[in-house]
Amino acid sequence: MKITAVEFFPYELKLKTPYTIAYETIEKTINVFLKIETNTGVVGYGCAAPDLEVTGETSATVQKCFADVVAPNLKGKDPLRLSFIMENLKDKLIQHPSVLAAVDMALYDILGKQSNLPIWKMLGGYREKIKTSVTIGILPVKDTFKSAQQYVSQGFQCLKVKGGIDVDNDIERLQNIRQKLGKRIELRFDANQGYSAEQAIYFVEKTKSVNIELIEQPTPKGQPDLLKKVTNAVSIPVMADESLMDLRDAFRLARKGLVDMVNVKLMKVGGINESLHINSVARSANLEVMVGCMDESALAIAAGLHFALGRPNVQYADLDGHLDLLNDPAKDQLIIKNGWMLPPKKPGIGIDVDFD
């Protein structure tokens, strides 16, 4: 089997409802889709979701990488030699993790289709479904509850609330949700680097009665000592997100005991293959893993889902980045029942992409 063609297609994806996090408001996003064709007719699809703040990439840089680096380095190669191809691309694309993620995704898609197996079974097939949280941006107290109520009415059982701008307002928002929705709903909180260590500790103390499941990236990513200070001081798990960009970050976080958990996003780390290595480091240090996402097409979300279902240490999922996209060429193909995500039934990633 040989790769005969590499194409890419940028799509501006609008959000039905814009949302705010600690450092920006998001109204739309651009995903760049990758199509890899082979001489046997098997086609693999991938997706890059660049984010200048998180991955350091833009749509323009991603497209340039696909044209100048990916296409010439993939044509004529055997797509089933996934590790060989990805290792050869790493040094060339070290600052472009979502490009690597898209290539990795497309190669896994081909491998699964050629093997007639879904990726989650190829990765070990540990579980058949996983519960996902759904995210609520920074809103006034009443609007936060209204949004929470809407998601719960749709069957979601776990809510992730964004904050990090006003700690007292964040506390009130979480208390209000718990008071009105009761104990049956799981609550997670993400400060997106917005707190000082003291604010994070204060937040956890004041929300003890809320029974928050975890707090994600409370302090700035460039100050690891603050993260450790929070981890050592609070009673709930602390999760690293922006502080984890690659395998070396995972090793540092684990070796220094900076956190209890890590959020692995395919777009940050460079795809499924690299996520597997990071997951192994985390497991060796007794750190649980959550698979997260950016604002991504259902195609990319499905790839993250396969990773989560395949490995036992991936205990949590936050795979809602596709739900609010209005014009996703891979929409309406992921199954979510009462907040639980089920894998596509087709081999490979199992998602068809409509570029018309």
Question: Which residue segments constitute the domains of the chain, with CATH numbers given?
Answer: 3-116 (3.30.390.10), 120-342 (3.20.20.120)
Marked catalytic residue, from 113, 160, 229, 265: 265
* Whether the Cβ atoms of residue 75 and residue 66 lie closer than 8 Å to each other: no
pLDDT by position in tens, the chain (length 356): 999 999 999 999 999 988 888 777 888 999 999 999 999 999 999 999 999 999 999 999 999 999 999 999 999 999 999 999 999 999 999 999 999 999 999 999 999 999 999 999 999 999 999 999 999 999 999 999 999 999 999 999 999 999 999 999 999 999 999 999 999 999 999 999 999 999 999 999 999 999 999 999 999 999 999 999 999 999 999 999 999 999 999 999 999 999 999 999 999 999 999 999 999 999 999 999 999 999 999 999 999 999 999 999 999 999 999 999 999 999 999 999 999 999 999 999 999 998 87
Neighbours of 207 (CB within 10 A): 21
Is 168 one of the catalytic residues? no
Distance CA 101, CA 9 (A): 15
pLDDT of residue 15: 93
Marked catalytic residue, from 109, 216, 296, 324: 216
Give how far the C-alpha of residue 301 lies from the chain's centroid of Cα atoms, to the nearest Å.
7
Is 216 one of the catalytic residues? yes
User: Distance from first CA to last CA of the chain, Å, rounded?
Assistant: 28
pLDDT of residue 67: 98
Distance CA 343, CA 333 (A): 10
- Torsion over CA: 244, 245, 247, 251 (sign): negative
Marked catalytic residue, from 190, 274, 320, 324: 190
Is 190 one of the catalytic residues? yes
Is 265 one of the catalytic residues? yes
Marked catalytic residue, from 113, 160, 162, 268: 162
Is 221 one of the catalytic residues? no
Marked catalytic residue, from 241, 320, 324, 328: 241
pTM: predicted TM-score of the whole model, two decimal places: 0.96
* φ, ψ dihedrals at 246, nearest 5°: -160, 180
pLDDT of residue 166: 97
One DSSP character per residue, 205-242 reads HHTGGGT-S-EE--S-TT-HHHHHHHHHH-SS-EEEST
Distance CA 269, CA 242 (A): 11
